[in-house]
Amino acid sequence: MTHQGGAAPDCLPCRNTAAPKLPIRERIVQTANWRVAHAFNTGLPGWLVVVPTVHITSLTELSDMAAAELGPTLRDLSAALHEVVGCVKTYVVLLAEAEGFNHVHFHVIPRMADQPEELRGPRIFQMLGLSAELSIGEAEMDRLGQAIHDQLALR
């Protein structure tokens, strides 16, 4: 359901999109339709989240302009991740089912060449929702965010 003004006050992605100043890890890409952030609570460097700038809970609510921008954004992020973290491919996943995270968002997940079999495909989600001790720190997320942002600028 789209909300009046395009944002839901109880929604973390909406609050972050509306914030006047965000660290690079929360605004790797920012357009009128999309914001890209490094996922938090993950142990996988380069796990990105692509979030519409308006609150929608179903892909069917996506505007034509946002839909047209989505494909090139996903392609460009995948290429940038290949250069920055050295992944062999990316997984792109849309679920938006976790409590508090029903705002449509795409996970763009790097799949490394040496990734263990038990962490491939949907099992990669074992690397999300980790404790702070097992997660990538903010400084590293900012470093990766800047590197990905800079790589995208070269395209």
The pLDDT profile of the chain, 155 residues, written as one tens digit per residue, is 444 446 676 776 777 787 789 999 999 999 999 999 999 999 999 999 999 998 988 999 999 999 999 999 999 999 999 999 999 999 999 988 777 677 899 999 999 999 999 999 999 999 999 999 999 999 999 999 999 999 999 98
pLDDT of residue 9: 67
Question: How is the beta sheet containing 48-52 ordered, strand by strand?
Answer: 29-30, 34-38, 48-52, 106-111, 89-94
Reported as half-sphere exposure (CB side, CA atoms, 13 A), residue 94 has a value of 14
Q: Are the C-beta atoms of 57 and 102 separated by less than 8 Å?
A: yes
Q: Are the C-beta atoms of 88 and 113 separated by less than 8 Å?
A: yes
pLDDT of residue 4: 40
104 backbone φψ class: left, alpha, beta (φ>0; ψ -120 to 50): beta
pLDDT of residue 6: 67
List, in order, residues 6 or more apart from 43 with CB less than 8 Å away.
127, 130, 134, 135, 136
Percent helix, strand, coil in the chain, to 5, is 45, 15, 40
All domains in the chain, ordered by first residue: 4-153 (3.30.428.10)
